[in-house]
Structure 1
Amino acid sequence: MRLFGYLIALSSIIFLSFNRQQHPLHREWQLVAERITHFNADHSPYEEAKDRLDSVKNVRVQFLPDGSFKSPEGNGSYTLSKDSIYLNLNGKKTSFKYELIDSKLTMESHIKSAKYLVRSRLYFE
């Protein structure tokens, strides 16, 4: 019976230690660049608008384990689902596909206009 008690205690400790492991997203990120790309509805290049890559300085975003984030635009909340992150800031909701590779975060969104699609890709380090 004593062994059973030790096993329960040990499994509780292991379970709690797994729950405390941080998601790699939970940290402060420095936005370093934004790439804007324009497409036709069929995803071919939209020739009437120039694509651009802008470097970005002094923009930091912090994702916290409690589901909140801090950004220059204000503080909000987020949820994760598979490869997507859903942000809620001042009542406005936005979704991004995200990817974490080698301590680099890429977030991508698509916006439809009447004439074309815009893909915004944000690069964080």
Structure 2
Amino acid sequence: MMTKRFLLTVTILFAVCFYFGPQPEVKAIDPVTLAILAPIAIQGAKILAPYVMRAMGHFLKAIVNIGKHLLGFFRIPIGLFQCTLLAPFGGQFMYGLANLGAGSVEFLKFIGCVLILPLSFFGIGV
């Protein structure tokens, strides 16, 4: 069993090791190299522009789809309201159950769309 003293000692040792460890250094590019590479980078950007725009279009479609599922998720509180407070008023309980079920399905779809969001850049799941 680990004692508090042992855990404190290990924590302090780790802190000291990381504090006195080597620090990352920043390396700058000289202006001449930058001036030489800038035209090459511009040509590369011109070649990649259509692919980036298409990926952004796929991403936008996925975001709209996520928003639609997020709005559908709000059927759960509506269903709870219908099942509890509006139940005595003529058949609202069944509508509440339907809203609870639909909201739960929309929540699962929302989670699935959020998980597949990084793949939407490649047109998967759109």
TM range (shorter): under 0.3
By percentage of residues, which structure has more strand? 1
Larger Rg: 2
By percentage of residues, which structure has more helix? 2
> What TM-score comes out, normalization by structure 1 length?
0.24
> What TM-score comes out, normalization by structure 2 length?
0.24
